[in-house]
Structure 1
Amino acid sequence: MKFPHDAPQRKVLKTLEAFGFTIVRTGNHIALVRRNPDGTTTPLTMPNHPKLKGSTLRTICTQAGIPREEFLRVYERL
C-alpha cells in the first residue's frame, strides 16, 4: 500500500487521533501530543496545509512511531 499523494488534512488528523494524538496548538503548523501508557509523551508536528503529500505522511509516521501499514489501515477505514 502506498501513501496517498494529496491526503486531506482532516482525514490525517482523524487517523492520528485514532492513534491517541490530541491537538495542543495550531498555527503555521499543528502540534499534537500522545500520552503513552508508561507516562511519557510523544510530540508530533505537522504542517497546517489543506492537503499533505505522501513524503510528509512518511515523516509524520516516523516521528509518531506508527508503522506505515497500520497508519494506512486506519486511514482507509475513515
Structure 2
Amino acid sequence: MNDDQKTYIIIGAAALVSLVAWLALVVIPAWKSYWRLRDRIVATVLSIYILAAFVLAGTGVGLAALWYFSDRVEL
C-alpha cells in the first residue's frame, strides 16, 4: 500500500465519521423535533445548508494553513 492509498483511506474514513456525526447530532434531532412531514423536510434541508457551511469553512481553514505553511512542506 503506497502513500496515496493510505491518504485516500484516511480521507474516506474521516468523511464517513463526519457524515455519521452530522446525522446523529444534527439531522436526527431536527427530524424528531417536528411532527409534520413538511417541517421535518425543511429542517433536514436547512441542516444540509449548515453542513455545507461547515465543509466550506473547513476547506477555507485548510487552504489557509496550506498557504501559510507551504514553504515548510516538502513534496
TM-score under structure 1 normalisation?
A: 0.29
Answer with 1 or 2: which has the greater Rg: 2
Structure number with higher strand proportion: 1
Q: Which has the higher contact order (CA 8 A, sep 6+)?
A: 1
Structure number with higher helix proportion: 2
